[in-house]
Amino acid sequence: MKLILAVVQDKDSSRLQEALIDADFHATKLATTGGFLRSGNTTFMIGTEEARVDELLQLIKDHCESRRQVMSPISSLDSNTDGYITHPVEVEVGGATVFVLDVDQFKHF
């Protein structure tokens, strides 16, 4: 048994959730917030048999796309901008960050 934690951008979460349901994967969906861009994410907790892990990873890859986004500069209240980005920067966001964990026991009550 494996536990997959998939952190995806909110823009991709609905499409992924529908695909998980269609493929008969059971998931718990959590609203989370990213650290770097402080943007909304969704974390899916998905338990599955080891034989279906590759199928699940491909499904996540197919429904979570990377995209380019302009990041606003960080403002400093004291006007000290040493080490801060002072102009908008384009960064890559989206896609999915996925953790595959071994599960020692699984109980469903």
Instruction: Return the closest-CA partner of residue 48 out of 37, 62, 59, 33.
Output: 59
Q: What is the pTM of this model?
A: 0.74
Answer yes or no: is pLDDT of 47 > 60. yes
Q: What value does the mean pLDDT take over residues 19-33?
A: 93
pLDDT tens per residue across span 80-109: 555 555 677 666 566 789 999 999 998 888
Instruction: Return the closest-CA partner of residue 60 out of 69, 70, 72, 48.
Output: 48
Would you call 42 helix, strand, or coil by DSSP? Answer: strand
